[in-house]
Amino acid sequence: MPCFSQLPSRTIWTTLITNTNYLSGLLTLDYSLKKVGSKYPLIALYTDAFPAEGHAALDARGILKRHVPYLLPSVSKDYTNDVRFYDCWSKLTPFSLVEYDRVVQLDSDMVALQNMDELMDLELDAPELDGTGNRVFAASHACVCNPLQKAHYPKDWIPANCAFTTQHNDPESAQTTGAPPTAGLGMPNGGLQVVNPSKGTYDKISAQLASSTASNYDFADQSLLGDVFNGRWVAIPYIYNALKTLRWKGVHDAIWRDENVKNVHYILSPKPWDEWHAQQRGEQGQDSEKNKDPSHAWWISLNEERIEAEKAQGLNDRF
C-alpha cells in the first residue's frame, strides 16, 4: 500500500478528499499532473469519512495518501446553502505539514493543462517567521463577481469589488502577474495554496478557528486566510487557478487566454464528471448539451484518456 512515509521528496502537491463524489476529479488531477511532466508527487489527504472503496481506488493507482483530521471552527457556521464549505476548513491542513519544505494544495476539481512546477520555487516567507511576514502563502484571488447571482452571497460580491476587474485594462500583464493582494476585497481563492508549512503559522490559523470570529466567515478557509493574513500573501496570476467562470462572457473573458491557462478549476455545479457520468448512463439529451460549459470538454477528454490508459493496465473500476 502506498504510504506518505515512503516519499523521499520534501516538496509535494496535496489534495483533500473526504468522499467518493470527488474521486474521479482527484484521479484525473493526478493523471494530468503526471501528463504535464511534474517532478513532484500528489498526496491525497483523506479524512475519517473517506470509504474503503475510495482507498482501494487510490491504492490500485499507486497514489500516495495521508490521514488528516477533519477541521471545523469551535463556533459552528451554517452552510446550508453551500454544504461543501463544511469540508473546506480541512484545506488549511497543509500549513501544519512541517515535515515538508513546500506544499501546494490543489482542489480535486482541477486539472493541470501545463507544467506549473515553478510554484515549488516561488519565494515565500521562511517558516521561522511564523506567519508574521508579508509573503505568508501564495494564491490567486477569489472572483467576487457572483455571476450566478446567488442570493445568499454577500452584497459586496459584485464586479466592481473584484480584483480581476482591476486587470481588464491590461490583459497581457494579467497572464504573468496577479493583482495586489489588497485589490478588490483582498480574498484569496482556497483552491490552490502555495505553502511553506510552519507551526507558528498554523498556530495562528488554529487560534482563529477556535475563536468566535470564524462563525462570520462566509467562505470558510479562504475567508479565514484573507482575514488573518490580510494583504500579507502573494497574489499569483489567474492562470494557476483559472476558475471556469472567469472564461464566461462578461465575467473576466477580457483577461482569459486559453493558451496560457496552466490549471483549470471547475468551481460550482455541475462538475464535469457529473456530466460525463450522466452521458455514460445515457441521461443527457440535446437540451442539456446547450448548457454545458465548454471548458468541461477539457476535463472529459483527459478523464477518458486516463480511463483508457488504466484499462490497458487491467484497471477498470467505476471511477
pLDDT of residue 291: 54
pLDDT of residue 279: 85
Q: Which domain holds residue 221?
A: 4-312
Which pLDDT tens digit goes with each residue over 127-184? 999 999 999 999 999 999 999 999 999 999 999 999 999 999 999 999 999 999 999 9
Assess if residue 50 is contained within a domain: yes
Assess if residue 179 is contained within a domain: yes
pLDDT of residue 79: 77
pLDDT of residue 262: 98
pLDDT of residue 295: 96
Which pLDDT tens digit goes with each residue over 239-248? 999 999 999 9
Assess if residue 317 is contained within a domain: no
Assess if residue 224 is contained within a domain: yes
Assess if residue 198 is contained within a domain: yes
pLDDT of residue 267: 96
Assess if residue 318 is contained within a domain: no
pLDDT of residue 6: 47
Residues of the chain falling short of pLDDT 50: 1-6, 286-290
Q: What is the CATH number of the domain that holds 169?
A: 3.90.550.10
Assess if residue 319 is contained within a domain: no
Assess if residue 196 is contained within a domain: yes
Spatial neighbors of 13 by CB under 8 A, at least 6 apart, are 33, 38, 40, 41, 42, 43, 103, 104, 105, 106
pLDDT of residue 277: 87
Domains identified in the chain, total number = 1
The number of beta carbons lying within 10 Å of the beta carbon of residue 10 is: 11
pLDDT of residue 8: 53
